[in-house]
Structure 1
């Protein structure tokens, strides 16, 4: 069974999602139904989820910010957006965040079943490949028909990592941007980078942001909220959490120890 978390601020919609979908038949265990993004993120800190079904427009933390935070903790989580906001800007950012699907309100239980079922199949395919000791896409050929040699792999990964390091302060930086910069598909690039450096792109973005934040914190003249913005974060609390997760200290504690 795969674990799914719902984040939806409208109670009637939330209850419909909980009770109208045959989750067990889909191979899914519902681990919670949060009323806002912050509540959902707290739930994800208590228990990992394989799937996240979230509204966009929620109080305290919207769905896109929740997805970004959830992916920072678990890059392979499958995210599905549920929203009545049929606007291109939201859809475009959702694509950057590798959202699995985008379902518009009013909700159709049959449509929810379909997209969740497809997401479950994605997870199953990935885990089956891992069980066989395969890294998806690494055995595929480039468009030229030539397999990637070790040197070419390293060169492409160096380019990707260099791009992440150079642009990590961009608030909207996403896997899709890095993949476009090096001319590879997103899934292929993630697999390639993980094979060579042991991490996928999203955790690298967070790591480089935190390393830059640590440098800036050594100068007492830099205010913490300014550092938060300088390394690509809009949410100061989320920045603090991310920093503590990497360094075991809050930004203030780190500054007091190292300045």
Structure 2
């Protein structure tokens, strides 16, 4: 949405323009106004509008002077000047100053909206032209990871670059590469050599793209049409490649791997998860080195039953917590908490593992870094076995609170989405964008949280609702197949029939005659992708 600012010394004109346009509906944001050019300049710096509409005749600094300043200092801002009929020569001068367009007073709301859309299209064209000129394979992949490009635009650029990015499934690995001696960045030549080594990370039935995203960061995006190939093979192959490259180049490589995603824009989510996983992995690796050194130095070797701890994290209750913690931590009595660092490294290792597993279980979009840092600060203050017990009790509370926040955070939004789909499923133009607009969050964020909370994509849920309703109509009405298809949101009866059979195992006619099948859960999004993309 483009931001628009108005500058005019007549408050009535400013208020009329502000009120006569439904800004959000037309795709704009009204970001403020000012009474003259001098008053407008600090607002322009603060709001950074895309379009500036200014009167010509104003006190202190007129519109031509303002347009001249904006053209030099903010060349990306498009300026539209307003003038009366007797000021046409000023408008001509404004055009020479580089303003985008002009309009004659009084201007109607329809004329203004048409002019705004004209300028908006030009902004889009210029931005697209700049992106076309600067788009490379590395930038495209980086923008996908950063969530900075829409799927349709990414596909268009990929075709121009002859980059085959389309697939059913995606997964991202992030590699932090640092020199062994000082943990700093490697040279560009070494980083490129390691990138070439990572290109050997071949997974059966999958392809990958590797690119450099920072001085110490390499990213590999995997794609495949077979989910299992990305679920089973990445970790073991990645561990072997990492070990080989570390030995060959004398560096330290920490790998983080994101979750499997079914959409091109899911690359962004998988990248974020891989970054968080890499962060925890790096902390864990550093802690294990310190723990090993402390074990050797202090000749202490205490083993904690991690599996038991994680099981209790998943199913334990607050009433059971104190008793479990005392039993679990019994061996930690032997540690001299005041003089030894062994206890810190041991519990820190347990903490990092607990956070890693909890993030996977609770399906949280939150970055755990802040929580981990707070827990580490608390752990450093532990000076006795009793402090150790208090720390473990707090750790459980923190992780259980995280679990509750994740389960409750989006409950209301999901309920609204489900209710809206139940009400609107017969609309064959129902889209992810429309549903997201109804609940007032972005389409990409809605897609992610719905999948996390419901265990299925929004498309899958919509399809199930439609097919269940079709099954009811087939049993309770004599309506023809094309009528039922239309009633449940499918304008193409042939497509509806094929989808119905895929979901139930029967054609609509077979179901009407004899069927009692139920629609299948978790079918591929491709079955109805054209409806909700």
**TM-score of the superposition, structure 2-length normalised?**
0.25
Q: Using CA pairs below 8 Å that are at least 6 residues apart, which structure has the higher relative contact order?
A: 1
Report which of the two has the higher share of helix: 2
**TM-score of the superposition, structure 1-length normalised?**
0.49
Structure ID, larger Rg: 2
